[in-house]
Amino acid sequence: MVIFIYVTILIRNPNNIYPICYALIVSSVLFVLSFDSTLGNPLQGRNKGITSNPNLLGMFMLYGIFSITILWNKINYKTKLILAGVFLIALYGIMASASRKSLFSAVIFIALWLTIIFRTEKNLIKTLFTIFSVVLIIYFVYDIYFLDSYMAFRMDYVEQSGEGRFDIASEGWRLFKSSPFFGVGLGTFQDHSQYEKYAHNDFFELIATLGLIGLIIYVLIYAWLINLIRKARKSIKNYNVRYILNVFLYIIVTMIFLGLGRPHFFDIFSMGMFGIMSGYTLGVLLNRNKINEY
């Protein structure tokens, strides 16, 4: 929450979002460059590189993709070509981390983002350029890397893995019933689990560790942010700002989906992303008269 509040205050000026997005993009590239050569090797494990958590690696690649799409409508073609390359690197990073939930989330977000381009972009050349770039990147990653990757190997076990995670989620429900209002304690799910694993689900992890009260607060944060963005969209006429607000809505949808496979409500990177969205949107509302002049 400290990170969330700090970033929200930091981006009280909407223009501050751009350097932060570039910083996230550069960080994504550095994350990939730091990957150990054994990352994704089923014999040596996935826990290599800048962090021991491969799902966190995949998640940070998602933030790089989010940042690229936020900037996309504002940058020129030369910068778009550069960021298309970074987009490719980010997708490779997700593949290398072998994080299935990050891959599924990326596919969902990219599909949703393209609907924004279809609905709002009036320039046919820009629309075709964006679609061609995305299709080419996805094809390149799929054909050159995915088919022989550890990610493809793990995809063969989605059903089996899903059964195991269903058992863990059921355990979360059992913990919730033992302490329905306040839960068994934040961050203690793994200690109470017979499988000694976290819930692999935002909502079951929350309801088990913080109870019904914690879950309600968490859902209200999503509801508040969505309502804030919708309010800003209604009061802003500026095309570029409305585009970013639309991207925010789809980032939230993606984060909710990601939460179905990975608890990230106490992750500092997630709180940073939520802070970026809330800070920018609040800044837009405070400066809406000035923004609407342009």
pLDDT at 168: 73
* The predicted structure's pLDDT at residue 47: 44
Q: Which of 115, 110, 162, 118 lies closest to 138 in space, CA to CA? A: 110
Residue 291 has pLDDT above 50, yes or no: yes
Q: How far apart are CA 131 and CA 111, in angstroms?
A: 10
- The answer to whether 140 and 88 have CB atoms below 8 angstroms apart is yes
Quote the CA–CA distance of 280 and 265 in Å, as a whole number.
Answer: 20
Joined tokens for residue 140? 């390149």
pLDDT higher than threshold 50 for residue 42: no
Tokens 């929450």 sit on residue: 1
In this structure, which amino acid lies at residue 129?
Answer: F
Query: For all residues of the chain together, what is the average pLDDT?
Result: 77
Q: Is the model's pLDDT at 36 over the cut of 70?
A: no
Residues in the chain: 294
Question: Which residues, in sequence order, are CB contacts of 196 under 8 Å at separation 6+?
Answer: 190
Q: Looking at residue 38, what is its pLDDT? A: 46
90 Cβ contact list (under 8 Å, min separation 6): 28, 32, 61, 62, 64, 65, 68
Q: φ and ψ at 267, to 5 degrees?
A: -85, 130
Note the pLDDT of residue 48: 46
- What's the pLDDT at 142? 67
Choose the weakest-confidence range: 21-30, 163-172, 209-218, 266-275. 163-172
Q: Which residue type is seen at 209? A: T
Here the tokens at position 155 are: 């995809």
Tell whether pTM > 0.85.
no
Pick 186 or 47 by higher pLDDT.
186
> Encoding tokens for residue 182?
């306040």
Secondary structure class of 183 (helix, strand, coil): coil
C-alpha to C-alpha distance for 135 and 90, rounded to whole angstroms: 15
Model confidence over 213-240: pLDDT tens digits? 888 888 888 899 999 999 999 988 888 8
- Tell me if residue 54 falls in helix, strand or coil: helix
Say if CB 93 and CB 149 are below 8 A apart. Answer: no
Whether residue 129 contacts residue 80, with contact meaning beta carbons closer than 8 Å, is answered with yes
In this prediction, residue 159 has a pLDDT band, given cuts at 50, 70 and 90, of: very low
